Chain A
Amino acid sequence: MVLGFADPFDALFRVQRALDQRLDSDWLEDATGGVGAFPPVNVFRQGNDFAAVIEMPGVSKDDLGLEVRGNAIRISGKKTIDYGGNASVHRRERVAGSFDRTITLPVQLDADRVAAEYRNGVLILSLPRAESDKRRAIKIG
């Protein structure tokens, strides 16, 4: 084992452990409505703001719909799989279908500044906190 390799993998291990510790925490409000739990969502804090990282491999950008309203984000779309005409299938593990999920954050968002980036089957939503929701220091008189 070359010692030089240890670092990047340790870093990944730390990330994996950190994600495990927050598995299905109750931070996200119960109102994760919509149909089903696809796509799976991870939510991170970045300073004052939040980011959601959502995996949906095989979903084309054109088939993906995003809406924001108040502190709720709606993610809907469909995933299609095309085997081609006369193919015989040996192994089928991927699933196709439609999805519609709304996640509600326990903070107010600045809807105008919510940004989305979809790359390599991963959707990253930048969720800036609304100015009115930010913490203010209170002066003690």
Chain B
Amino acid sequence: MAPAQDLEVQQKRELEKKDESTIPARVFLPNTDIFETEDALTVVMEMPGVNREHADITVEDNVLSVAGRIDFSKYEKMRPVYTEYNVGHYWRSFNLSPNSFDEHKIGAEMKDGVLTLTLPKAERLKSRRIPLR
């Protein structure tokens, strides 16, 4: 583990999509760590303000997509006097190498605004003897 250092603010990055969105609100990219162990790939995403009910994880055509919605209703009655960051929903997707993960066993855990996804590696297709008739 890296020694304790003074933490710096990471500016939120906005999502840049190929297709323009029909809605004006900005969407942010969660800061993400991806690391691999022998059995699984782990994806860790920071989405402060998103609770577990509002995180949406899908795998389709080998694309892992994560959407996180924040509850901004509390902001509507508050008047900002000083701000250092903006708020918005989160979205990010990653291409997975085909057939290398067991899509049905993906584990998801949410804690302190951090989503941890565990993608277990698929059992390698075992070589199979072809019977002669």
Is A57 interfacial (CB 8 A cutoff)? yes
A20 CB contacts on chain B under 8 angstroms? 83, 86
Asked if A121 and B6 make an inter-chain contact with CB atoms under 8 angstroms apart, the answer reads: no
Is A12 interfacial (CB 8 A cutoff)? yes
A-B contact count (CB 8 A): 197
Select A89's contact among B9, B23, B35, B86, beta carbons within 8 Å: B35
Asked if B22 and A1 make an inter-chain contact with CB atoms under 8 angstroms apart, the answer reads: yes
Which secondary structure dominates where chain A touches chain B? mixed
Asked if B81 and A94 make an inter-chain contact with CB atoms under 8 angstroms apart, the answer reads: no
**Could you tell me how many residues of chain A have their Cβ less than 8 Å away from some Cβ of chain B?**
67
Which secondary structure dominates where chain B touches chain A? loop
Binds B, one of A36-44, A108-116, A133-141: A36-44
**Could you tell me how many residues of chain B have their Cβ less than 8 Å away from some Cβ of chain A?**
51
Select B48's contact among A28, A50, A83, A122, beta carbons within 8 Å: A122
Is A4 interfacial (CB 8 A cutoff)? no
Asked if A12 and B25 make an inter-chain contact with CB atoms under 8 angstroms apart, the answer reads: yes
Specify the chain B residue showing the minimal Cβ separation from A118: B112
Given A6-B23, A121-B46, 15 more A-B residue pairs with CB atoms under 8 Å apart are: A12-B25, A18-B79, A20-B83, A24-B82, A25-B81, A38-B6, A38-B7, A41-B82, A43-B82, A56-B113, A61-B112, A81-B33, A96-B1, A119-B51, A121-B114
